[in-house]
Amino acid sequence: MMPVIKSLLFLLLVCVVVLVSTAGAQSEAEVPLRDQARFYFDAIPHEVPGKELVDHFDEKVALGQRLFFDPRLSMSQTVSCHSCHNLSMGGDDGRPVSVGHGWQTGPRNAPTVFNAGLQIAQFWDGRARDLVEQAGAPMTSPVEMASTDPLICDVLSSMPDYVAWFTRAFPERENPICFATTRHALAAFVSSLLTPDAPFDRYLAGQEEALDDLQKQGLREFIALGCTQCHMSTNLGGNGYYRFGVKHAPEQRYRPQEDLGRRLVMDTISEDYVFKVPTLRNVALTAPYFHAGSAWTLEESVEVMAWVQLDKKLTEQQVDALVAFFSSLTGSLPTIALPALPVSTRETPRPAY
């Protein structure tokens, strides 16, 4: 009898060990997906963070909205911020690189202006500290709007409505219309372009059915593959700089040799091809991708990323899941009434070419 009891006891022990260990493995593997996601990401806020620190914020936003749509900020009076950052089309221009003054093209893809204010700095190389500094660049860039500080002030001062709007937004200024106030108003408007309530944000907030199974699978892959090393926080990007090509050099069309990225603006950067990690918010709306705008589909960009940044080849299922997850990052676009702009007067400088 003894050996039988012994072997029964042994069997029982084995069962207990197996049960305990699978229970342990299960609980480890199943840190709920939402908790993992909450560790890395935050929802897009409904209100502009820090707006209470800006005097007359609402007046500045209202003015900035008109300026954003006004092509008279450009020398030819045909190019507005909206030409390259179309708010009906993902906040960008859907082109590899933008077309500006005199049909000239610039070297880089236009990023979306949606949620841009939530980033640590502006431009692909982070050369503008904030939206105020950023807004000055396109107006005076010869390939974009090709205007000058004095010309912009002359144009705006020539229209009484603008004088009234600037005075309302900057009542403390003796001469409210100048290049600096134009930049501040544009920055206030751009900072207000938030896109909250994406399915992903609703999922983070606890709405289980906000993501379908494939999107959840994509989120799981995104975390497991390590995309979150760089694409994290509120914007799934926009808060750090990394080399494009950590593990392998991307093909020349993705990473043209002449654009050294942050190296061009910071002496202290020791590596070439360091760029700001772009936001993945609304990424399904903003093809083509990468700073040279050379990848036309998300499938392609995801494969390139996994290979050049993480040394990983993805299966078709992984790619599909990641792309499905990205579609859950499209938020509610702000409702923006097309502003009626004041008519040019006799004093308004004429368009030039």
Contacts with ligand HEC by CB under 6 A lie at 79, 81, 83-85, 98, 100, 106, 108, 110-111, 113, 116, 119, 122-124, 131, 134-135, 138-139, 144-145, 186, 190, 225-227, 229-231, 242, 244, 246, 275, 277-278, 280, 283, 286, 289-291, 298, 301-302, 305-306, 309-310, 322
Q: 288 preceded by cis ω (within 30°)?
A: yes
CA–CA dist 256, 175 (Å, integer): 45
Nearer to ligand HEC by Cβ, of 158 and 309: the residue is 309
Tokens 């009234």, residue located: 164
Contact between 176 and 56 under an 8 Å Cβ cutoff? The reply is: no
CA–CA dist 267, 280 (Å, integer): 28
C-beta pairs of 134-137 under 8 Å, 24+ apart in sequence: 134/187, 135/182, 135/183, 135/186, 135/187, 135/190, 136/179, 136/183
Nearer to ligand HEC by Cβ, of 206 and 236: the residue is 236
Closest approach, Cβ 7 to ligand HEC, in A, equals 51
Closest approach, Cβ 197 to ligand HEC, in A, equals 21
Nearer to ligand HEC by Cβ, of 96 and 176: the residue is 96
Closest approach, Cβ 172 to ligand HEC, in A, equals 23
Residue 132, amino acid: V
Is the backbone of residue 82 left (phi > 0), alpha (psi -120 to 50) or beta? alpha
Closest approach, Cβ 63 to ligand HEC, in A, equals 13
Nearer to ligand HEC by Cβ, of 11 and 352: the residue is 352
> How distant, in Å, are the alpha carbons of 171, 179, 189 from that of 135?
21, 10, 11
Nearer to ligand HEC by Cβ, of 11 and 261: the residue is 261
Question: C-alpha angle with apex 80: 137 to 239, nearest 5 degrees?
Answer: 50
Nearer to ligand HEC by Cβ, of 9 and 62: the residue is 62
CA–CA dist 54, 45 (Å, integer): 17
Closest approach, Cβ 284 to ligand HEC, in A, equals 10
Question: C-alpha angle with apex 281: 302 to 275, nearest 5 degrees?
Answer: 65
Contact between 139 and 73 under an 8 Å Cβ cutoff? The reply is: yes
Is the backbone of residue 257 left (phi > 0), alpha (psi -120 to 50) or beta? alpha
Q: How many other CB atoms are there within 10 angstroms of residue 278's CB atom?
A: 22
Closest approach, Cβ 303 to ligand HEC, in A, equals 9
Closest approach, Cβ 10 to ligand HEC, in A, equals 47
Closest approach, Cβ 243 to ligand HEC, in A, equals 7
Nearer to ligand HEC by Cβ, of 216 and 231: the residue is 231
Nearer to ligand HEC by Cβ, of 77 and 122: the residue is 122
Closest approach, Cβ 104 to ligand HEC, in A, equals 8
Nearer to ligand HEC by Cβ, of 16 and 292: the residue is 292
